[in-house]
Amino acid sequence: MVAYFSLSVNTRLITRCRKHRSLTRHKQCWSKEQADKEATLKTEVIQKKGFIQKLLDNKAKELDEKTLECKRLNEMNKALAKELAEVTLPSDLNLVKEKILKLDSLGNEANNKGNRDHLADLLDLRNK
């Protein structure tokens, strides 16, 4: 009876060990699958990050170009407004200081004192 009992216990232990080994293999396979999925996702994220970085760099370059173009056009606009005011000044005898300030404000910041002073000096010279 002791041998039967011992055999029964050993059989149960072997069965448990086999189940445990099977479960361990299953967990190991699952872990490997998860690791593969994570590696794939990581690769995709790195590729997307690179793509987004290139887009960002292109947009930053485009913004810099547009900013430079805008500055160039603003300078051209200011020069044309100043030229218009200087051409209008000698030809319009009824020109008053308020109209000069209005002409000066075309394409310029409202507080551009240098241009206003220059145009006012031209008006004073013309009136003399």
What does the domain layout of the chain look like in residue ranges?
Answer: 39-127
> Cβ(73)–Cβ(107) under 8 Å?
no
Write down the pTM of the prediction.
Answer: 0.49
Beta carbons within 8 Å of 103's beta carbon, 6+ residues apart: 81, 84, 85, 88, 119
> Cβ(115)–Cβ(82) under 8 Å?
yes
Structure token pair of residue 101: 């300030």
Confidence check: pLDDT of 9 > 60: yes
pLDDT tens digits, residue range 39-65?
999 999 999 999 999 999 999 999 999
Q: What is the 8-class DSSP label of residue 95?
A: -
> Cβ(119)–Cβ(104) under 8 Å?
yes
CA distances, 18 to each of 4, 12, 31 (Å) = 21, 10, 20
pLDDT of residue 115: 64
Q: How confident is the model at residue 94 (pLDDT cuts 50, 70, 90)?
A: low
